[in-house]
């Protein structure tokens, strides 16, 4: 998500090399990346990933390539004119565009980035029925995705920023299109500051055998503690500072000045210090321990950040740490929904 904007081509390729060498084999992108999104950089993240795939020459079956189609957005006019709906034509064009930028014959996982209907997202927590608008039927979207599977362009389907209703409705309808076995994942935010997944979606995923791809496991870097380690609001090259005022989706959810966020991050940082691990390692390890999580979808702009995150795959959080984490969560519940 940061590659092509915050992270340039040389550093992005080095990061991808280092991640793959360390055992990372799942790479997630989107047609609208990098962020903050703008017309000049649209699609650059996919292009860099494709450039790396060609240079690395890794066997195709050893790399899981995932990307996403943008939902309705009148603001991003540079994506198919700023689609006002996610219909069959938009899905088909988006798939072909991603295949071209990535330079691959097929996509392992293709995800709907956000629903084509009103849902509370990016900091919103309450559903407002009056905000609903006429949306493209899920049946039309599934039909388009099914054709792409039949033609060999995509292998599996995923959802993102979804609700329990949306997931269950897609699963119900997927049976009519013989696609139930192809719908595998939901990619939603999940981290120490946002555990909403556990309230409703977790039960759906458990019984329906859907895996969570946990995005923002570091809460946009907040859980590293770097934004609250002093009074100067963190390093200027930090994403929340570097793009201040330009990334509304992130800023609406991750409020750096929120007292609850500050207090929660302080206590999680203290827990990490007490047990001799970095705050980043604690944050990622917490996500990876979840039985429904298939992958923690993280980003890094520096090699040392990557290695800090990878350390989380090598540790096991003992029960006493989880007790302390849950105590903090009980007092500062989901400050970044």
- Of 74-78, 175-179, 203-207, which range is least confident? 74-78
Count of helix runs (H) and strand runs (E) in the chain: 12, 7
Residue 252 has pLDDT above 80, yes or no: no
Q: What is the CA radius of gyration of the chain?
A: 19
- Residue 138 CA to residue 2 CA, distance in Å, equals 30
Residues above pLDDT 90, as percent of the chain? 85
Is pLDDT of 236 > 80?
no
Tokens of 193: 């500051």
> What average pLDDT does the chain have?
94
The pTM for the full model equals 0.95
Whole-number Cα distances in Å, 244 to 205, 257, 265, 294, 306: 35, 13, 20, 31, 23
Residues 35 and 31: their CA atoms lie apart, in Å, by 11
Q: Which two tokens stand for residue 47?
A: 């292009």
Question: What pLDDT score was predicted for residue 242?
Answer: 65
Q: Which residues are catalytic?
A: 33
Region 166-178 average pLDDT: 98
pLDDT digits over 258-300, tens only? Answer: 999 999 999 999 999 999 999 999 999 999 999 999 999 999 9
Question: 115-142, pLDDT tens digit by residue?
Answer: 999 999 888 889 999 999 889 999 999 9
Taking the C-alpha atoms of residue 16 and residue 22, their distance in angstroms, rounded to an integer, is: 10
Going by pLDDT thresholds of 50, 70 and 90, the confidence category of residue 213 is very high
Which domains are seen in the chain, by residue range? 9-189 (3.20.20.100)
């Amino acid at each position: 998500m940061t590659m092509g904007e915050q992270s340039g081509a040389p550093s992005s390729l080095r990061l991808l090399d280092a991640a793959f060498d360390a055992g990372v084999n799942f790479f997630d992108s989107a047609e609208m990346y990098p962020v903050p999104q703008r017309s000049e950089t649209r699609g650059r993240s996919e292009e860099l990933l494709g450039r790396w795939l060609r240079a690395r020459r890794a066997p195709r079956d050893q790399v899981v390539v995932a990307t996403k189609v943008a939902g309705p957005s009148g603001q991003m006019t540079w994506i198919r004119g700023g689609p006002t709906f996610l219909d069959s034509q938009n899905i088909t064009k988006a798939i072909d565009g991603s295949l071209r930028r990535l330079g691959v014959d097929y996509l392992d996982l293709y995800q709907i980035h956000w629903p084509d209907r009103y849902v509370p997202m990016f900091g919103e927590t309450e559903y407002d029925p009056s905000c609903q608008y006429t949306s493209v039927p899920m049946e039309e979207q599934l039909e388009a995705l099914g054709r792409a599977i039949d033609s060999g362009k995509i292998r599996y389907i995923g959802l993102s920023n979804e609700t329990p209703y949306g997931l269950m409705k897609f699963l119900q309808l997927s049976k009519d299109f013989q696609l139930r076995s192809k719908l595998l994942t939901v990619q939603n935010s999940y981290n120490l500051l946002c555990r909403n997944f556990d309230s409703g979606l977790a039960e759906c995923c458990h019984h329906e055998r859907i895996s969570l791809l946990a995005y923002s496991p570091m809460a946009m870097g907040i859980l590293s503690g770097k934004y609250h380690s002093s009074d100067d609001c963190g390093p200027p090259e930090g994403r929340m500072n570097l793009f201040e005022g330009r990334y509304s989706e992130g800023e609406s959810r991750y409020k750096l000045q929120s007292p609850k966020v500050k207090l929660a991050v302080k206590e999680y940082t203290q827990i990490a210090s007490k047990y001799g691990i970095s705050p980043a390692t604690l944050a990622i390890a917490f996500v990876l321990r979840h039985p429904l999580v298939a992958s923690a979808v993280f980003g890094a702009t520096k090699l040392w950040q990557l290695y800090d995150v990878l350390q989380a795959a090598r540790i096991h959080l003992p029960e006493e740490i989880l007790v302390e984490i849950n105590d903090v969560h009980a007092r500062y519940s989901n400050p970044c929904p």
